[in-house]
Amino acid sequence: MSKFRFSVGPWNVHSGADQYGPATRAEIPFEEKVRRFKELGFDAVQFHDDDVVPNINELSEAEIKAEARKVKAILDKYGMAAEFVAPRLWMDPHTADGGYTSTSAEDREYAMWRSYRSIDIARELGTDMIVLWLAREGTLCAESKSPVWATQKLIEAINKMLEYDKSIRIVIEPKPNEPIDRSICGTIGHVMAVSAATIDPSRVGGNVESAHAILAGLDPACEMGFALAMGKLWTVHLNDQNGIKYDQDKTFGVENLRGAFNQVKVLVENNYGANGEYVGLDVKAMRTTKDEDSYKHLQNSLEIFKALEEKARRFDYDFQKKCIENRDYEALEMYTVKLLMGLI
């Protein structure tokens, strides 16, 4: 039995539409998703602000909070928690050139309004975590923004959020590119530096997504380890990725099984979850998936994670120690592969 708690977002069960083709499956109502998440063994739901309040731009602050309370009632009905709320700042015309780092003061103000409302929503849902996926915080044209200015604007925006609510935590999810060409905060190292520059570094941490680390040419387990060493890994988005191309959000472990094992291993070894952290999934079903299998990628990801967790917990550290002492890394590597292949 797993010692971890798991979270998932409603966007992880979707109709299959993408920028190249229409939907291939029926949309599923939110409450039905929550019910099935609970049945599958998830403990919490991840949210964007407009997952909770779809017409957020049209409502007053009081109306937004009232809508959030309706969603909280659904979570309570099924015994589910809210893990975090993330302002969706990449879908609105105001954020075509970024939100916090837009060259338009009006658009930057809009980004702050959405961020404040996300904090309000989080409070109504009972979570203190705001995740910032900085989707468009960067450039499409390298000369359009100074990276110094853009970084300063990002820090300024985070400081405003920290001041708006004295107990909220800000968790930055880095990605090196896509949809923008050059991100100003592309790795967990960038996140740590931004955290240190804020008015309250103790409330600014990181979220490592497996695919995002791979897109940066980095090892997800090493990115997680770096954040863990800083005491700043406050959530994760586990998935998989076939090389450095577009973001794929594949089922966890299906492309890079050894890499997935080492992600689980670093979490197990460092007692991740002891402070209430969730193991979050951010995986998408293939377009070819049928309606009746809309949750299979989530089931598969959980099954793979738990199998790798079992292997991580029986990893032979005495043998590892001997291999390290003798610098017999061929033997250590073969041991790991045999463990994953079920040969030992």
Q: Active site residue: 14, 48, 237, 297, which one?
A: 48
Q: CA quadruple 19, 23, 25, 29: dihedral positive or negative?
A: positive
Q: Confirm whether 48 is a catalytic residue.
A: yes
d(CA 80, CA 240): 26
Phi/psi of residue 138, nearest 5 degrees: 170, -145
Q: H/E/C letters for each residue in the chain?
A: CCCCCEEECHHHCCCCCECCECCCCCCCCHHHHHHHHHHHCCCEEEEEHHHHCCCHHHCCHHHHHHHHHHHHHHHHHCCCEEEEEECCCCCCHHHECECCCCCCHHHHHHHHHHHHHHHHHHHHHCCCEEEEECCCCEECCHHHCCHHHHHHHHHHHHHHHHHHCCCCEEEEECCCCCCCCEECCCCHHHHHHHHHHCCCHHHEEEEEEHHHHHHCCCCHHHHHHHHHHCCCEEEEEECECCCCCCCCCECCCCCCHHHHHHHHHHHHHCCCCCCCCCEEECCCCCCCCCHHHCCHHHHHHHHHHHHHHHHHHCCCHHHHHHHHHHCCHHHHHHHHHHHHHCCC
**Which is the catalytic residue, given 49, 51, 120, 247?**
51
Gap between the Cα atoms of 131 and 313, Å rounded? 30
212 is catalytic: no
Q: Which residues are catalytic?
A: 48, 51
